[in-house]
Amino acid sequence: MQMLNKLREIESRYEELNIQLSTPEIIADKQLYQKTAKAHSELAAIVDKFRQWKNLEKSLAETKGMLEEEEAEPDPEMRAMAQEECATLEQKRDQAEGELKLLLVPKDPNDEKNVVLEIRAGTGGDEATLFAQEVFRMYCRYAESQGWRVEMLSSSTSGIGGLKEVIAMIEGDRVYSKMKYESGVHRVQRVPQTEQQGRVHTSAVTVAVLPEADEVEVAVDPKEIRIDTFCSSGPGGQSVNTTYSAVRITHQPTGLVVSCQDEKSQIKNKAKAMRVLRSRLLAMEQEKQHNALAQERKAMVGTGDRSEKIRTYNFPQNRLTDHRIGLTLYQLDSVMEGRLGPVVEPLVTHFQAEKLKAEMVIA
């Protein structure tokens, strides 16, 4: 009954917004129109599903009414048809009800955000740097398939051409909603290029996906940061090692250090470094809030924390295993080409369901 009342309120609000979108006052104010249209759009999926559920309930009631009539004047064939129709409608109604419950789970406010992607080589030496490079390429291909834009912020290469570290910004539609469960330790099992005896080695990289922080969300006091400039290193043309274009920002209260040297302009490098710093500070604050909330709740929802070993990439068996949800796919070659849908979608569904369970416990 509580859920039904909430759904009726949402439907009523949706109709109000529908009317507002056609009023001259709203149409004349571009900013207000966009705000109203966004609120209307956010409720549309819930209202559509609620109306589908109501239609199924109505059809089910009518079919049950037919069954009662058949009891008075029995017709075996008609009764069998009505019973079959009832079973089908009940199944569809229950499915719609389950989908409605998921839609009512409070949305993650970060889902609409761009992300800062950080990949670092872990255990495994040079082999780990090569895998870090392949993982970064995998995410770039996935971003391309989603219509997102990837911008390199900083990188550090190994002697054999791998990546010790790479930081990039991924911008687009609902990037964080699909990328947020990629944070963690990614383990690779394969025969390294340098292995002479054909033995399988295990290496690892760490992936961190941080929602980009707006300046309004994270205010950085200029007095609390130290900015150092230095010469860029690595490929980059005549300006490398001759101009102090690279920037290192140290946030003194937390000790966070961010460096950026990919641009020839010191101003651009500083702007990029500040975007990364704000995102890291936001992630730290959200982690504090999550930990405080977790102590109050008996049921915790998994978050894919970067300290967790989340996934194994086994090249000899062409196998990918996500340990959090017990997912195993024998299409690793396809995944490494950026076709991450079969991995991302089950993760989103699983953690939504976990969040729903937690909400029900709290309620």
Q: State the DSSP string of 118-187.
A: EEEE-TTTHHHHHHHHHHHHHHHHHHHHHT-EEEEEEEEE-TTS-EEEEEEEEESTTHHHHHGGG-EEEE
| Full set of structural domains in the chain with CATH | 2-104 (1.20.58), 115-362 (3.30.70.1660)
Measured CA to CA, the distance from residue 32 to residue 35 in angstroms comes to: 5
Measured CA to CA, the distance from residue 31 to residue 253 in angstroms comes to: 37
Q: What is the pLDDT of residues 278-290, one digit of tens each?
A: 888 888 887 776 6
Joined together, the tokens standing for residue 241 give 């090692």
How far, CA to CA in Å, does 323 sit from each of 134, 250, 340? 20, 36, 16
Q: State the DSSP string of 183-238.
A: -EEEEEEE--TT-SS---EEEEEEEEEEEPPPTTTSPPPGGGEEEEEE---SS--T
Q: What is the pLDDT of residue 292?
A: 59
Joined together, the tokens standing for residue 66 give 């037919």
Residue 73 has pLDDT above 70, yes or no: no
Measured CA to CA, the distance from residue 336 to residue 314 in angstroms comes to: 11
Joined together, the tokens standing for residue 18 give 């529908």
Contact call for residues 172 and 149 (beta carbons, < 8 A): yes
Contact call for residues 41 and 17 (beta carbons, < 8 A): no
Q: What is the pLDDT of residues 145-184, one digit of tens each?
A: 999 999 988 889 998 889 999 999 999 999 999 999 999 9
Joined together, the tokens standing for residue 242 give 């001759």
Q: How many residues does the chain have?
A: 363
Measured CA to CA, the distance from residue 212 to residue 278 in angstroms comes to: 7
Burial class (CB in 10 A: 0-12, 13-18, 19+), 143: buried
Task: For tokens 């001259």, name the residue.
Answer: 24
Burial class (CB in 10 A: 0-12, 13-18, 19+), 12: exposed
Q: What is the pLDDT of residues 311-347, one digit of tens each?
A: 999 999 999 999 999 999 999 999 999 999 999 999 9
Pick from 114-128, 204-218, 232-246: least confident: 232-246
